[in-house]
Amino acid sequence: MDNWVIALIKVVFIWTWTLLIATLMTWVERRGSAMMQDRLGPNRAGPFGLFQPLADGIKLFTKEDIIPEKAHKILFSLGPILFALPAFSAYAVIPFGDKLIVNGKEIILQVADVNVGFLYVVALGAMAVYGIVLGGWGSNNKYSILGGLRSTAQLISYEVPFGLSLLAVVLVYGTFSLREISLVQQGTFLGFLPNWGIFKQPLGFILFIVTAYAEANRVPFDLPEAESEIVAGYHTEYGSMRLGLYLFGEYVNMYTLAALMVTLYFGAWHLPYIDMSKFLGPVSYGIASFLVFFLKTAFFLWLFVWVRWTVPRFRYDQVMGLGWKALIPLALVNLFITALCIQLTV
């Protein structure tokens, strides 16, 4: 019974937390871009415009919900749901801290420590394609179809190097469980480096971050929603909260991917050279691990924003070329080298 309550609390916590982060990210994105572009950004609602996301949310909820006359009603309504739902669910297997000991009971800071955590994340990432394609198709708009097609080609192509770079990580750690991977990243590697994934998989990390940007539809891979070319692509026809779900899902995706980067390559909740559990109490250690993990994730979230406002967009054929001609061969080479190294050292 107790376990159920704890599980429920964790689910509710991570749900609201993800929502909060995604909401805040819209603010960070706007203020961050404004900072880079010598503007002010939203600064009217609340201190530093912090309530702006709230105002936007209210606006999106209260807007008239329009379904275009010629649209496919079912697919049109299904699209945003299929996009947002996997995005929200994907975080379940990713840890958000180490553990919390309350009244002698150990609580793992992760909704579900699944032994196929990896596959779960990849599978849910692949689900997002359906949301975009169905939305684009159901809108019955040429631009939307183009956006949908672009995203199908892009997401499916980038799934391959994404999966391959993850596979190399699995080879290194010998497990699919994200919690176990996090746990072994404690201590040092080769005596002087933190025992982090990035030092064992440098090429793998580069591949992962590039494909993650493509999976999240972020600049420079935001072709499915290129506003200057195909007028927001798959969500041209969407308005009100349906559009909100798409936009929101994107930020949730970003959060999941950033957390995944931290978990796999940046030592999850571990600080380099310092073992926090040695000198912190059980509760404060739990909170500290959560904070460390979150700060690292926040950096990668900021990186998403940073890159978005710095580089231009690829062209469709260039994205395909990069995916098939550069990333997939590199991912295979990386996998091969990793396998070879492990074979030689074991």
Per CB under 8 A, residues contacting other proteins are 33, 36-39, 142-143, 146, 150, 219-220, 222-223, 226-231, 309-318
Q: By C-beta, is 199 or 306 nearer to other proteins?
A: 306
Closest CA to 129 of 91, 162, 156: 156
d(CA 31, CA 36): 9
Q: By C-beta, is 94 or 207 nearer to other proteins?
A: 207
Q: By C-beta, is 148 or 267 nearer to other proteins?
A: 148
Shortest Å distance, C-beta 167 to other proteins: 27
Q: By C-beta, is 40 or 291 nearer to other proteins?
A: 40
Evaluate whether 22 touches 251 at the Cβ level (below 8 Å).
yes
Evaluate whether 53 touches 78 at the Cβ level (below 8 Å).
no
Shortest Å distance, C-beta 33 to other proteins: 7
Q: By C-beta, is 8 or 311 nearer to other proteins?
A: 311
Q: By C-beta, is 200 or 218 nearer to other proteins?
A: 218
Evaluate whether 126 touches 159 at the Cβ level (below 8 Å).
yes
Burial class of residue 274, CB neighbours in 10 A (0-12, 13-18, 19+) = exposed
Shortest Å distance, C-beta 202 to other proteins: 20
Shortest Å distance, C-beta 323 to other proteins: 14
Give the E-state strand segments of the chain in sequence order: 99-102, 105-108, 188-189, 193-194
Give the E-state strand segments of 128-283 in sequence order: 188-189, 193-194
d(CA 160, CA 179): 24
Shortest Å distance, C-beta 232 to other proteins: 8
The helix or strand, by DSSP H or E, that contains position 253, with its residue range, turns out to be helix 240-265
Shortest Å distance, C-beta 142 to other proteins: 5
Shortest Å distance, C-beta 312 to other proteins: 4
CA trace torsion 80, 83, 84, 86 (10° rounding): 150
Q: By C-beta, is 105 or 142 nearer to other proteins?
A: 142
Q: At 121, which amino acid appears?
A: V
Q: By C-beta, is 33 or 277 nearer to other proteins?
A: 33
Phi and psi (nearest 5°) for 253? -55, -45
Instruction: Supply the DSSP string of 60-90, one letter for each residue.
Output: HHHS-----TTS-HHHHHHHHHHHHHHHHHG
Instruction: Supply the DSSP string of 93-142, one letter for each residue.
Output: GS-SSSEEEETTEEEESSS---TTHHHHHHHHHHHHHHHHHHHHHHTT-H
Shortest Å distance, C-beta 305 to other proteins: 12
Evaluate whether 114 touches 121 at the Cβ level (below 8 Å).
no
Shortest Å distance, C-beta 174 to other proteins: 36
Shortest Å distance, C-beta 315 to other proteins: 5
Q: By C-beta, is 16 or 318 nearer to other proteins?
A: 318
Tokens of 178: 């994200």
Q: By C-beta, is 63 or 313 nearer to other proteins?
A: 313
d(CA 162, CA 150): 18
